[in-house]
Structure 1
């Protein structure tokens, strides 16, 4: 029997996400931004709600291309508010545009990926939690990243959202020690690709 983190399941889409994506180190700047945006949309909701709508979000938000979204305005906001395939929350939609502009500034200054991975020294933090009760909702580091993101103009990026993002994108390995994914994800920490210049 395959042992997984307690939150993974029972739906197959959730199990697949846990087994193939969650905790895998993400080094791509655009993909990191997409995940942060989706975690912001999750605020007040369950992750599976977002997961089931993820492809709709990608279609509605131009493949989460921040260069495109940064130029959007009121017409795009109204279009998205009329889209039943996504979470129709004006504040979160408008924040996505603002966050695309903030991403552009950080990307131009040296890379959003570098900005984020520098917080953990370029290598994922390897936690060894035995139970879900041990896993924090946020940490001093997620508090710090949240404050810095807000200072750069990001919205919907509180400490709890940021920690969930860190877990999902592999900045921390929070798979439980008994989980079949803990060791494989830990091994990925040693295979960071060189950043294209």
Structure 2
């Protein structure tokens, strides 16, 4: 028999706090978890050291289950001509602000799909729940987290994405409708947003 979501996540209340990168704090996550819901932090906008610190900060405030969210976007592929075109386009905007453009463009956030250091942090810290946004990691990463006893969630913005989440063996789908605030967790932004509501 499959356990219900409250049992699976060890919650008293059917509330999952959104893991908002740059906004969610350890104190907020601990307060939600302490009240019987699932508090969440996002480590998608940080590196492994920041992730380790964020998890430890929540643990200092609560012994209840909480969620750690990671970004699983497709890593950028180098394209020198495209990068040069963007830098040329941006140069006057930098100049208007009295700033110099960077010599090269870089990704702002490293994707969990190729962040071995963040995987190690999660396997060592073993938070009760890990959630994925903007896609899914490979089967090896999923299995490693499951083998560590971690419950896995993944956001999906369409039926096709939800089917991918289910096929990957993720424990629960977080249905993110068009009405969601902030960024949408599209797996493939180049395909466009189906704008499905929840």
Q: TM-score, normalised by structure 1?
A: 0.27
Larger radius of gyration: 2
Greater helix proportion: 1
TM-score by length of 2: 0.27
Task: Answer 1 or 2: higher relative contact order, Cα 8 Å, separation at least 6.
Answer: 1
